[in-house]
Structure 1
Amino acid sequence: MAVIGISTYREEASWGLWHQVADVQFAQYSDAVVAAGGVPVLLTPAPAGGPGLAAAATAVVSRLDGLIIAGGADVDPELYDAPAHPETAGIRPDRDAWELALLDAATALGIPTLGICRGMQLMAVHAGGTLQQHTPDEVGHTQHSPGGEVFGSTRISLAPGSQLAAAEGGEVVGPCHHHQSVATHPGFVPTGRAADGTLEAMERHAPEGDSAVFCVGVQWHPEMGADHAPIEALVRAAHGTPSP
């Protein structure tokens, strides 16, 4: 069975008698991995800037078959040399540093990787790209993130011949909860867009003649809906099984 690492938050949390700092993540990520035939492993944020950060990331990623960089707080705009937008909030340098180290290791080791929402955005930044810090400024509506705990619903057209189209078909309607999105994405090919033009999916393609490692970002949250196809495609890639 493929072992799939999932990045996590470090938060103040309450359970039973306890109110403590805890490493947490939505159970839907793990449930979707299990349903796809994988084994989920939660990857806790290592201390930002720690001397062993790169070594720790390499040690854990080398034991994985696949990696999910999960959704969450806004990426620090300093990472792409931009001033913070007034709506940019909740920046977590510890998580940014850890997940960037995980991406370094996954890239170096050729580990199949899926970025979800913030994860897709961080993949773009890791590659030298930039973000739209407040997508409503660009598209004129808030349907991608209606507010609070409510997920929006976005219809996404997928590029023919893409890995996502092989998994999903030509179109998908996905749960969404993001006020930021990818602006530039060096090394990635755009493979999915919403009707308003928002980039909803991207894939890293191998040089001609080389086999492509699964490296895909999706802006929607497949773990929160009934359609887990991107996660299923990651688990298949981690098994070394091609898409149907």
Structure 2
Amino acid sequence: MASNVSDPVCRPVLGLTTYLQQAQTGVWDVRASFLPAIYLEGVTRAGGIATLLPPQPVDETIAARVLDGLDGLIITGGRDVNPSAYGQGAHPTTDQPALDRDAWEFALVRGALARNMPVLGICRGAQVLNVALGGTLHQHLPDLLGHTRHQAGNAIFSTSAVRTVPGTRTASLIGETSDAQCYHHQAIAELGRGLIVSAQDSVDGVIEAVELDPVQYPNAWVVAVQWHPEERLDDLRLFAGVVGAAGSFASRRGKETERVT
């Protein structure tokens, strides 16, 4: 459930990670931090406050300072994770890694998990979460599946039918089945520590969502989907889920602060 959108004071603050690369706007062609606006709209329509988290030099102290100002974290889409982070060499189709963004997002994810902060991973974000917890990736799905349906190319999203695993948080959010907007040529292979599969492609079985095991971690709201929910803002269920969890996190943190003071 989304937070109380009528009262800005009650709205949780969610940080969204961003790109940092060369970009053009008007007469300018500069290195810039940016994120498509539909991500922000997903958060704000669900009742949250969105703030951007551009890649920057990072250590545990810097990540902690950033997370101190947040109630939830969204790891967004982008280029492939550096294969060396999960012990592999690069496939010919794997993107040149953004090492600064990888380091930034790994630090934020680990810091968020350490404090039980709600986390939503989107596409690359699902892969970052899995790798941060010791998992691996399939670097090029066409080699495994023999088709390119999960990433048609030319910025054209394909629609995949996904089936959720009963009893998972993902199933409670989107139901038994859902249509997903996909644009990924990589996918989760070996699961990271504590993660369970919560949705798969209905046709080829590719892992399309993971989450922290709600049995082992009943108080942790950590869900990551391989698809792009921001491409379908007529369906805010995943954004509403993380915004609602962030609101609960903010409330718990406020009560703990009151007890200390």
TM-score normalised over the length of structure 2: 0.87
- 1:221 matched to 2:221: no
Mapped to 2, the partners of 1:134 and 1:145 lie a distance apart of: 10
Q: Which runs of 4+ in 1 moved over 6 A?
A: none
Q: Secondary structure at the match of 1:190?
A: strand
Q: Would the aligned equivalents of 2:195 and 2:213 in 1 still touch at CA under 8 Å?
A: yes
Mapped to 2, the partners of 1:12 and 1:86 lie a distance apart of: 23
- Higher radius of gyration, 1 or 2: 2
The residue aligned with 1:109 is: 115
The residue aligned with 2:256 is: none
Q: Which amino acid aligns with 1:96?
A: D
The residue aligned with 2:218 is: 211
Aligned residue runs from structure 1 range 81-230, under 5 A: 81-185=87-191, 186-194=193-201, 195-206=203-214, 208=216, 211-225=218-232, 226-230=234-238
Q: Would the aligned equivalents of 1:205 and 1:212 in 2 still touch at CA under 8 Å?
A: no
**Deviation string, structure 1 residues 194-231 (Cα, Å, up to 9, x no partner):** 020100011102555x6331101100000011323212
Unaligned runs of 5+ in 2: 1-10, 250-261
- How far apart are 1:53 and its partner, in Å? 2.2
The residue aligned with 1:6 is: 16
The residue aligned with 1:16 is: 26
- How far apart are 1:45 and its partner, in Å? 0.2
Residue-pair matches, total: 236
Q: Would the aligned equivalents of 1:70 and 1:115 in 2 still touch at CA under 8 Å?
A: yes
Mapped to 2, the partners of 1:154 and 1:179 lie a distance apart of: 13
Of 42, 62, 77, which residue of structure 2 is paired with 1:56? 62
Mapped to 2, the partners of 1:15 and 1:135 lie a distance apart of: 34
Of 35, 45, 60, which residue of structure 2 is paired with 1:35? 45
Mapped to 1, the partners of 2:226 and 2:156 lie a distance apart of: 16
Mapped to 1, the partners of 2:164 and 2:219 lie a distance apart of: 18
Q: Which amino acid aligns with 1:89?
A: D
- 1:75 matched to 2:85: no
Unaligned runs of 5+ in 1: none
Q: Would the aligned equivalents of 2:169 and 2:214 in 1 still touch at CA under 8 Å?
A: no
TM-score normalised over the length of structure 1: 0.93
Mapped to 2, the partners of 1:168 and 1:124 lie a distance apart of: 21
